[in-house]
Structure 1
């Protein structure tokens, strides 16, 4: 197990980084390490190309520009919400795929937004100065207000869209400044049967055969946006063993967490999540079996929940690894010893670890209430989410910007409005299922004698109350939501909509729980991690990478397989190898358009491949890039070992899984007849 890298241990012993680890910020990319290992000299120009051509899908994925006309490449599963929103029983884009022959045929993705990073600015000193000398609670409140003001000032002075970003668990604070595209349209999507071939059984596994790609386009002023910085294709892809790079927005890693926080995840958070969502998955499957239409409308949420369950199970397995956990404990003991040996550090850092442990004990005392009431686990579904957004937006807009809840600041409101007013389908049967399930879980976890449970359910069953609320609400109508969005707080409070009444009824209790969490858990934990970060910087500087934060990162590695149970795994698959796996039944079914693929495309066409790059959820849709800045693949998954990358990295087993450029180009040409897209991307005729 010596190959396992634990960041805390590295910091203490100041050892060199092992192979291919890290999701690096552009300002701190280890160019010298890459040059020494791979002989690749990544220049500032290369990094600038990455910054300007790689985008963030604010719904939770990554993407890249692949033409000068706003054309974007990402995963099919990243565009699935757009595909679903534009589907119907008569025109099922998930099942049948989609190709816009002209710009006029491209359809809007109402809830998607694309962000491109323009520049960053560190504001750590300003935040530290504002919070100096204050106790934990006052420091936390001051920090929140300071960051909100910084974001507001940034947007007013730069003309860009700004976000505050905490790195190294709050050891650094930055402003990230973005250009935003709110007009996003669907250009191409293959059928789900080939995009997600193998379904949940193949998910997080390799070998794979998935055409998990889609194309979107961003618009400005009603016209395709000008995007002169884009990635050009390298059609043949990488050679075996060649260096590769992944640029994208990895969502969240937790490699800097203390042992106490990791134990909390292992013993409480993840098991609790699995208990609820495994049962919800069963209800979704049961619902899907009632009709073809039910199967269609539950497909996207079921796919998402199956992915989440597999991720959480493997994370739990990782946290139950005695050997790995022992190394984490050893690393923490070593860091504590290094702090204790330095009187200055000991005075500054003090009992930070025990502070986090006490905060976790405190949180256990009200966690279920917080998760179900403020976290909304008692009220699943779009309708309650709409209602809470409307109620809180009206209430928060009456406050000064710095005093508002973060999701309702001036910087955040446009996204809230976009998601709220998007005219996307709401299916009453699915809403009723989701709400009745969550009300049932509320009663189970909070207890049938809970005062809150009695206030919500009264004498009704979860099923009866959910059916009554959904049937009586008008919030499924986007026009009704638009009218309420423009209403003042008094009008919102007077609403007779039953789900609005529910959201208003629980809001005082929910806000009180939020305040308790902020004061008793978040405030001391944030201050403790700031102190630990000081120790890390004092001992090792910033030559290590911060945890992922859904901000732009670059990882490096090579196109290599691995050894699984004594057998070498070849690092790519070919088209010919998919046919023996085809059964004719989902999830091993090919769409009708692929019936002649065996004849029309060369069997040796490379399909999917793996590399040693360090990735995590959020990297979906990231481009794989070669040393010359060319597109050599599309990241869509990791192997099963990569899931533990949330907490640590195993360079011998963790692998990135990507769609090969050969299959993307060949299928666009031979299956879908998308010659106009190939021409736009500068790919010559065969």
Structure 2
């Protein structure tokens, strides 16, 4: 605790310790001194071992992070991460999105859906040499050899069907690691607060602070009676994890050291300045424009039809989150000259390179990389509208089914990823899930928007234009789409599933209009895919050469060296701390229950449930109230260093808090640990000023936003009376 306070005082006195880094677990011993400075007492070697607590309690959802919190397979994650599970179980007669859900007994826990999985990472192995064996100078052959080597490693790793393996690129292809994960296929919904708690503030508060969001949900992992992973069955039993997290009911205070473990999705910190400029000038504005149009359309049609609103709730939430992020990135690029910062570092790097004889030969490689990136950007712009013009869920389904028939003519090892035998369970589940996330009128409206955008630009494709054109001027494009939807059989689940067993000839002679369109577009799509693979083959040589020199440059400057996020398990550390925001206000590190009442308007998204408001107004805090969230001013360290003047009276239950940990998308739901490895919160967001950290880490303003464990316990204890779950948790105190 004293070490954490020292770190806090160093920050307050202007001595900044940068908490940058999304570290691979094996790297923990190399930064043991930094962990110690933050008051993290768990040995670095223990954090590096995925078979030990607490890392073996951290699990992936495929798009978010979660963690085991009981010996009975109970899992906690964010509400927005479990949104699909809540949506899957919501119907007109019981809307769990609006009302919340609590299973009082395990027998009442419904399936989270056929696509939901938990992934437990058990091993991470360096396979760089194996992946790079036998590479050709021919770009396409080079790409194909890398893929073949990856698939061979994956096949060997998946000799047990209960495991899912992948080979991921690190440092842009400089290294490759084989990730082995146990798959839990039966995931069930246990407890979710209403959306008015889990997403209090909605899109308005997204990426903002102060926040008052109860972004949490509990799930449970089930397995067969033999203890092995199995598909959903009423006979299944709760999974017994190798370890689970203890929950510290006392939470944390400002200045405490914390760390987060999870599966961050993607960052671009080693990308070139030209890539950032392209993202800022074209990519993000173009994506944002399309997302906003789709959001407006779904909201408008959803307000007219509650069934549409339920079916597209998950898609809408996801798009709104991405939209806010794109806007935040664009605002951040304007507020801070990140392109200038990156360019200055890039210029310094090139000067260092020219002065070091060991790396001078790489200059020509970087020039080649820039040329390849120009080709890549042009190809993306050329494909963009054509790919969007195929966005109909039914056309996407038809394309996947026809591709499956084509791939099945090859030996399994030579099939494209996603179409191998290992992928068929998930493939089938996706086809089934369409019924719960598809509405014909909504699909047609969104598709028509993309088709009109395609027709309004110059990068056209003859095969698609033929379908869009009509000899009869009285037939509109909307009329033509009506004809496609009225004649297809793909809206019927049984017919969709039957196509999985059809051969190529059956597709090529089919009268189904979506199947026919998929067949017509196949050659064009394959030609574009081959061009992408060829360019990827060229980049698979150029980018690793670049990274090799960049890493040497970083080490020469004593800067942290860690790979960009790529969806694999990482650890990041920091401290509980507020920050000076762009409007010159100091953002306090904790928010209180009373902030919910202050923000409540009774109108979504500031429509807190009455039971929550009543408990707050009655000051029914229970055992979860804290008097102060700051360090004791009478401590010897405060006397020595003269602590900053902070309000001592808190007198409430903490709702959300800030820390300096280095997170990004995919870290949602990640457990926030105190220095002893107890669970003290869940990561769920970043501040608006920190969104640009995907490109550049600024330690003075980069803050992650977490749900305080004391708020979760308060909701369970005083509001929803989830006594059965509280008894299941192992609560500890300081």
Normalized against structure 2, the TM-score is what?
Answer: 0.85
User: In the alignment, is the contact (CA less than 8 A) between 2:257 and 2:573 conserved in 1?
Assistant: yes
Asked if 1:110 is matched to 2:121, the reply is no
Distance 1:366 1:552, change over 3 A: closer
User: In the alignment, is the contact (CA less than 8 A) between 1:616 and 1:642 conserved in 2?
Assistant: no
Give the secondary-structure state (helix, strand or coil) at the position aligned to 2:191. strand
Q: Shift of the alpha carbon at 1:292? A: 4.1
Q: 1:40 — aligned with what?
A: 40
User: In the alignment, is the contact (CA less than 8 A) between 2:597 and 2:613 conserved in 1?
Assistant: no
User: In the alignment, is the contact (CA less than 8 A) between 2:39 and 2:675 conserved in 1?
Assistant: no
User: In the alignment, is the contact (CA less than 8 A) between 1:162 and 1:175 conserved in 2?
Assistant: yes
Distance 1:239 1:485, change over 3 A: same
Q: 2:428 — aligned with what?
A: 417
Deviation per CA, 1:609-643: give whole Å up to 9, x if none: 11110110111010101121110001111110221
Q: Shift of the alpha carbon at 1:82? A: 1.6
| Counterpart pick for 1:204 among 200, 207, 231 | 207
Counterparts of 2:352 and 2:421, CA distance in 1: 44
Give the secondary-structure state (helix, strand or coil) at the position aligned to 1:650. coil
Q: Shift of the alpha carbon at 1:169? A: 1.0
User: Quick check: which has more Rg, 1 or 2?
Assistant: 2
Q: 1:589 — aligned with what?
A: 607
User: In the alignment, is the contact (CA less than 8 A) between 2:197 and 2:214 conserved in 1?
Assistant: yes
Counterparts of 1:322 and 1:237, CA distance in 2: 34
Counterparts of 1:117 and 1:462, CA distance in 2: 49
User: In the alignment, is the contact (CA less than 8 A) between 2:70 and 2:728 conserved in 1?
Assistant: yes
User: In the alignment, is the contact (CA less than 8 A) between 2:41 and 2:676 conserved in 1?
Assistant: no
User: In the alignment, is the contact (CA less than 8 A) between 1:298 and 1:430 conserved in 2?
Assistant: no
| Counterpart pick for 1:483 among 498, 501, 526 | 498
User: In the alignment, is the contact (CA less than 8 A) between 1:71 and 1:217 conserved in 2?
Assistant: yes
Q: 2:23 — aligned with what?
A: 24
| Counterpart pick for 2:467 among 413, 434, 456 | 456
| Counterpart pick for 2:576 among 549, 556, 559 | 559
User: In the alignment, is the contact (CA less than 8 A) between 1:368 and 1:445 conserved in 2?
Assistant: no
Q: 1:619 — aligned with what?
A: 667
Gaps of 5+ in 2: 1-14, 225-235, 622-650
Q: Counterparts in 2 of 1:437-456, with a 5 A limit? A: 437-446=449-458, 451-456=462-467
| Counterpart pick for 2:384 among 353, 366, 371 | 371
Q: 1:382 — aligned with what?
A: 393
Q: Counterparts in 2 of 1:492-511, with a 5 A limit? A: 492-511=507-526
Counterparts of 2:669 and 2:308, CA distance in 1: 28
Q: Counterparts in 2 of 1:565-644, with a 5 A limit? A: 565-598=583-616, 599=618, 601-602=620-621, 604-644=652-692
Q: Counterparts in 2 of 1:95-134, with a 5 A limit? A: 95-108=98-111, 109-131=113-135, 134=137
Gaps of 5+ in 1: 1-15
Q: 2:447 — aligned with what?
A: 435
Distance 1:186 1:474, change over 3 A: farther
Q: Counterparts in 2 of 1:397-408, with a 5 A limit? A: 397-408=408-419
Could you say what the CA RMSD is over the residues aligned between the two structures, in angstroms? 2.5
Q: 1:140 — aligned with what?
A: 143
Q: Shift of the alpha carbon at 1:381? A: 4.1
Distance 1:363 1:482, change over 3 A: same
Q: 2:229 — aligned with what?
A: none
Give the secondary-structure state (helix, strand or coil) at the position aligned to 2:54. helix
Q: Shift of the alpha carbon at 1:311? A: 0.6
User: In the alignment, is the contact (CA less than 8 A) between 1:368 and 1:446 conserved in 2?
Assistant: no
User: In the alignment, is the contact (CA less than 8 A) between 1:34 and 1:41 conserved in 2?
Assistant: no
Q: 1:362 — aligned with what?
A: 375
User: In the alignment, is the contact (CA less than 8 A) between 2:162 and 2:183 conserved in 1?
Assistant: no
User: In the alignment, is the contact (CA less than 8 A) between 1:51 and 1:118 conserved in 2?
Assistant: no
